[in-house]
Structure formats: C-alpha cells, structure tokens
C-alpha cells in the first residue's frame, strides 16, 4: 500500500487466553499511531500492547513466532513491511491457537518430541541442528488445523535431507514418516511464513522418493465414491448484485485485482474471505481423499459463512476440483454447503 503521510494508524485485534484462568479465548482491540520509517519491528508492537494491557503475554526468546492475518511471523519483521502486505488492519494470534498457554506463548513440547519419536534414532548432530532451524516451518503447517497429531512439515524436510545424503537407514526413514494416521499422506505443503523460504520443491522430491519406494497407488475410496456421487448443478445466471468470492488457491495474489476488476464489470459484489488463497486438498486427493474432502469443505464453508453466494475460481482446474468433491465435502462435514461455483478464467 502507498503511505499518504509520514505516519499511519495501525488497528490490531489481539488474541487473549490464559489456560490457568480462562475457559475460552477472547480478543481485544488496540490502535497505535506509527511513524513511517520509524524502524519499529513486530516485537516492538507486542511490547506496546503489553504496556497497555499487562495480561498480554508473548515469548521473550528465539521461540517468538506468531501469526499476523494468518501468516507466521517473528519479532524481527519490520512494521512497515507488514503494513505494506496487510494494510492497517491486523489480527495477531498464536501460531497455533489450540496450543496457547498464555496468549502467544504456546506448548511447544511436540516440536522436539516429534524429532525424537520419528527420526531421532536415525539422525546425527547436524540433523538436529538442521531441524531446530525449522521451528517456524513446523508450526506454520496447515495440517495441524485438521490433525493435531501430524508429524509436521519440518520432520518431512529433515527426512528429505537425510535421504538425499544417502543415509544408510533410508528404508527405516521412509517407514517412519509414512504412518497412515499422521505421516506424509497428510502433507499438503503451502508456504505460510511471511517472507519465508518456500519448500515446495523439497516436499515434492520427498513424495516422489517415498511413493516410488512404497509404490503408492490411488486409494479405492475416491474411485468407489465416483460411482456414488451426485453431480451438482450450478445455476449462476446474472452476477449483478450477487455476493461473489474469489478463490486464488496457490496462485499469486496479484490475480486478485484482475479478478475484482472482471467481477466489477459484471456488477457483482466482491466479498473477501480468509481462506481465498489456501490449498483445499487438490494435491492429496488421490493419496488421502478423506482429508481432501475435509479441506475442500472447510474452504467452501468459510466462503459460505461469510455471505458468499458464488465462489469464482481463477484457475479452471480448481473449479473442476471443487465441483468434483462438493458432494463428498458435504458428507464429510455433515453440513449442506449451498454455494455455487464458477470458473473465472482470467
């Protein structure tokens, strides 16, 4: 965004919860006047919140990671840079809300536990050092929102490193990360870290190694379900004055402005929703269809619950995917999703 003056007012909605005293989390609103070019970072903002409300808590060490508008950040991010990306309305939350002990302080014992349990027996000291640097990657994984026992993307990246280095216990490593209930089948990697490195290539290479070794084939559930599915009809008609959301998926957010311009020409009402750029199971449908249905259903429900009547997909493949799984997503979530779909083709 372009700054129109030397300063701006930052409005922040902040997550509060203390496991010792609170039954449910709650949010409080804060507003700060910030000078452009002040050099403030996110840790400074947390200190300002703490100064106004002593009940606010956050880690004081290297474990300081949290979310701003759903992306994982650390305390060193420049406030000006984050404003450039998100604007002046922020939502600050722990990196995983269900792990909150006190506001942004989380129970992070699982991080080292997963290392020791899954790959610790096969690793060397430099493997542990590599893993420790992936602390933010571990907690940034979208899968934790669906499966709290997932081994984590960081473990998979460590496995990739070890296999690429021809670890003599490659077979055991592959077996260790292939647990049906919390292993690699649950990984649909997406870079959720603000200005963070993208590990799509490494995860893709790992899946090729693992599934080639295991000769992974499509699970029968999806193929059988195809015989039972009820094809849904979408009656789009005129878009004038209808609430339209745009699903970007893994595409660049640069497409959003083009999509909004196209919808404006049709006199539609554009409505944003939080999961417009989240993957929805497209890459794991053949491997873990039940999880794919759940992810797709959550994205569609998020749009529907935000008042969206029609979900327009900028990628026709995403449109075809949602159309294919719409019925199964409803069955998986036990709720009807009265949402029309359309390809936007931009």
12-66 confidence digits (pLDDT tens): 999 999 999 999 999 999 999 999 888 999 999 999 999 999 999 999 887 899 9
**CA distances, 4 to each of 37, 82, 86, 272 (Å):** 13, 16, 16, 24
Is the four-CA dihedral 70, 72, 73, 78 of positive or negative sign? negative
* Domain 109-214, second-level architecture: Orthogonal Bundle (1.10)
Q: Residue 101 is inside which H or E element, if any?
A: strand 100-102
Which residues are registered as beta bridge partners of 28? Answer: 14
Tokens of 93: 């939350």
Can you give the pLDDT at residue 218? 44
pLDDT of 226 = 52
- Distance, in Å, from the CA atom of 117 to the CA atom of 123, rounded to the nearest integer, reads 11
Q: What is the helix (H) or strand (E) element at residue 340, kind and residue range? A: strand 340-343
Q: Is the pLDDT of residue 229 over 90?
A: no
Taking domain 227-343, whether its CATH number is 1.20.140.10 is answered by no
Boundaries of every domain in the chain: 7-106, 109-214, 227-343
pLDDT the model gives residue 223: 47
Distance between CA atoms of residues 324 and 329, nearest Å: 10
Residue 142 predicted with pLDDT over 60: yes
Binned at pLDDT 50, 70 and 90, residue 252 comes out as: confident
pLDDT by residue (tens digit) across 292-333?
A: 999 999 999 999 999 999 999 999 999 999 999 999 999 999
Instruction: Determine contact, residues 64/58, Cβ cutoff 8 Å.
Output: yes
**What rounded mean pLDDT belongs to the chain?**
90
Measured between alpha carbons, how far is 122 from 133 in angstroms, rounded to an integer? 18
Instruction: Write down the CATH superfamily of domain 7-106.
Output: Beta-grasp domain (3.10.20.30)
Residue 197: CB partners within 8 Å, gap ≥ 6? 191
Q: How far is CA 107 from the centre of its chain?
A: 19
Cβ 38 vs Cβ 127: under 8 Å: no
The answer to whether residue 149 scores a pLDDT higher than 50 is yes
Task: Say what the pTM is.
Answer: 0.89
């Amino acid at each position: 965004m372009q700054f129109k003056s030397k300063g701006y007012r930052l409005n922040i909605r902040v997550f509060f919860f203390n496991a010792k005293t609170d039954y449910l989390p709650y949010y409080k609103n804060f507003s700060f006047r910030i000078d452009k070019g002040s050099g403030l970072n996110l840790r400074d903002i947390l200190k300002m919140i703490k100064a106004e409300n002593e009940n606010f808590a956050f880690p004081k060490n290297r474990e300081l990671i949290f979310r701003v508008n759903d992306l994982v950040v650390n305390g060193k991010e420049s406030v000006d840079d984050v404003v450039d990306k998100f604007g002046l309305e922020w939502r600050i939350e722990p990196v995983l809300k269900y792990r909150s002990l006190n506001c942004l302080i989380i129970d992070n014992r699982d991080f080292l536990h997963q290392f020791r349990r899954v790959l610790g027996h096969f690793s060397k000291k430099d493997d542990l050092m590599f893993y420790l640097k992936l602390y933010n990657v571990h907690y940034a994984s979208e899968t934790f929102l669906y499966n709290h026992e997932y081994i984590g993307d960081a473990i998979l990246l460590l496995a990739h490193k070890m296999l690429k280095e021809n670890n003599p216990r490659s077979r055991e490593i592959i077996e260790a990360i292939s647990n049906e209930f919390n292993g690699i089948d649950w990984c649909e990697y997406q870079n959720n870290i603000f200005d963070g490195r993208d590990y799509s290539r490494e995860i893709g290479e790992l899946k090729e190694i693992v599934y080639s070794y295991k000769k992974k084939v499509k699970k029968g559930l999806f193929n059988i379900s195809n015989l039972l599915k009820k094809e849904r009809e979408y009656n789009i008609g005129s878009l004038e004055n209808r609430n339209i959301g745009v699903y970007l998926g893994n595409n660049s957010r640069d497409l959003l402005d083009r999509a909004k311009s196209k919808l404006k020409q049709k006199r539609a009402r554009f409505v944003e929703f939080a999961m417009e750029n989240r993957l929805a199971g497209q890459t794991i449908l053949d491997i873990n269809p039940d999880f794919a249905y759940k992810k797709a259903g959550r994205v569609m429900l998020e749009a529907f619950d935000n008042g969206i009547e029609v979900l327009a997909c900028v990628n026709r493949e995403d449109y075809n995917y949602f159309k294919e799984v719409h019925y199964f997503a409803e069955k998986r979530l036990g709720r009807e999703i009265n949402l029309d779909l359309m390809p936007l083709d931009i």
